[in-house]
Amino acid sequence: MKNRPSKFLRGFKFAFRGLIHCINNERNMRFHTAVMLYVLVFSPFFTLSKTQYAILIATISSVICAEMLNTAAEELADLSAADYNPLARAAKDIAAGAVLVCAFFSVVVGIILLWQPDAFVRIYQFFLARPWWFALALAATALIAVYVAKGPLWIGRACAHWIGKARKR
């Protein structure tokens, strides 16, 4: 009998594959993950309670989940309607609208939680005292712009390679 990973572990592999599919194929997903990265990297400069961090993470998660569900709806609509179909278009528009609602309210939550002028001063002072960090942040921003615009297709290939190796063990 072959030594196969449990169904539970295979479920993680499939979920990870779906996440990678969204990142590789959806520019909006890459944009959302880039914004998430910036928010999480700069969040230590802000004074946030555990509850506020939980709200921030739940808000980020809702946008990522909505984008993934939107991608699933688009893929299913495209699969079911080879030609133009007004119902398929409506399903895609509704799913995109759900992402828009989540993204809009995430901005509102972000403003409520992160509008702390003293934190912006701390960020400015941090970079003023460490110009090499500012240069690194600028370089990272350029890489993130390429990531959002072009996509990280290498992630999918790397993960496929890693998953393939794991399967052979």
Q: How far, in Å, CA of 165 to CA of 151, rounded?
A: 24
Distances (CA, A) of 111 to 35, 105, 126, 149, 162: 14, 10, 21, 26, 39
* 151 within 8 A of 23, measured Cβ to Cβ: yes
The set of catalytic residues is 67
DSSP readout, 44-95? GGS---HHHHHHHHHHHHHHHHHHHHHHHHHHHHHHH-SS--HHHHHHHHHH
